[in-house]
Chain A
């Protein structure tokens, strides 16, 4: 009887986990973000802990193929240039399955990073574990982490600004506003925003 009960419990746990969608979880504001060790386009592995002097990290899930990501490349570079100096460098992560999108392969990431002279790390999330843990659903999807002791606290989740089509028409720079609030020690005015993006291509 006991064995039956145990096997039933295991079975139900298995059934539950196989039906639970992989993408509905993910971080909320003030959650502690986990560190990672992912391969950069230069062949080295990068972790949050490598940024010893940083006050935080701007984690941007992005990729090569998505028109939104491409539209935001220059703005992500600008974000890094402005805020790395203030203690918040960009770490870009490509979460997509390269089998679904060959243009998102590691080799193509290397090519794109070189073409655009990315001044930040551009990492590949081969197992997609980090994208799943963070709750990255689309590209680009920004997670601003604030360092608190040795912990990384999720402080902003969402879009870069309010106009992907036209940088000149941007009225509100959501990510920059959040960073400025953090740097000024203020409470973040708008800690979450939503945007249309290309859905993350999960492995089948």
Chain B
């Protein structure tokens, strides 16, 4: 009986661990973004620059999650690019993703010399967060938003022809 209980708890712990590690955050550099923006396909990419310490960023995450869920079988890709410090990846970012059960792809952009790449995303970007880029090569669409967004704003851009 006791053995059964112990095995049950070990299994439970193992399942919880699996659950917690469903979405490990991958660390990328700016060349990742450059490669992504050079994709010549018909997918709409929604790239949101955010951080766990940015309150308006955290507030709008549910809209990105909703888009991600709604369009998961269509050519729409949501990518949440965290600008959290690399040293806080395991202690802050990963627990946050697990706790909020974020299903969208989350990457950590490890490029602390912001000045070297902000202008390459968009020269009008002053450096505040959140900031969102929406692009679709085939539709020749490129949108840059240095502000909070809503579900409707994101959805309208996805449907724009």
Q: Which residues of A contact B (CB under 8 A)?
A: 66-67, 137-138, 158-159, 162-166, 169, 171-172, 174, 193-199
Contact = CB atoms under 8 A, between A and B. Distances in A.
The main secondary structure of chain A at its interface with chain B is loop
Nearest to B117: A194
Given A137-B126, A138-B126, A196 B116 contact: no
B128 A138 contact: yes
A109 B87 CA distance: 27
Closest 9 CB pairs of A and B: A162-B113, A199-B128, A165-B85, A193-B115, A194-B118, A163-B112, A195-B114, A67-B53, A194-B127
A65 B7 CA distance: 46
Contacts of B126: 137-138, 194
B129 interface: yes
A199 B49 CA distance: 13
B34 interface: no
B87 A137 contact: no
A196 B83 contact: yes
Contacts of B53: 66-67, 198
Contacts of B83: 196
A196 B129 CA distance: 7
Nearest to B51: A196
A162 B114 CA distance: 7
Contact of A197 (B112, B116, B128): B128
Of B85, B87, B116, B126, the most chain A CB neighbours within 10 A belong to: B126
Nearest to A172: B113
Given A67-B53, A196-B129, A159 B112 contact: no
Given A66-B53, A165-B85, A194-B115, 15 more contacts: A137-B127, A138-B126, A138-B128, A162-B116, A163-B112, A165-B112, A166-B85, A166-B112, A171-B113, A194-B118, A194-B127, A195-B114, A196-B83, A196-B114, A196-B128
Nearest to A169: B112
Contact of B127 (A169, A171, A197): A197
22 contacts: A137-B126, A138-B126, A138-B127, A158-B115, A159-B114, A162-B113, A162-B114, A162-B115, A162-B116, A163-B112, A164-B112, A164-B114, A165-B85, A166-B112, A169-B112, A171-B113, A195-B115, A195-B127, A196-B51, A196-B127, A197-B128, A199-B56
B54 interface: yes
A194 B119 CA distance: 8
A25 to B, nearest CB: 12
Of A66, A67, A162, A166, the most chain B CB neighbours within 10 A belong to: A67
Contacts of B134: none
Contacts of B113: 162-163, 171-172
Interface in B115-155: 115-116, 118-119, 125-129
B86 interface: yes
B33 to A, nearest CB: 14
B36 to A, nearest CB: 19
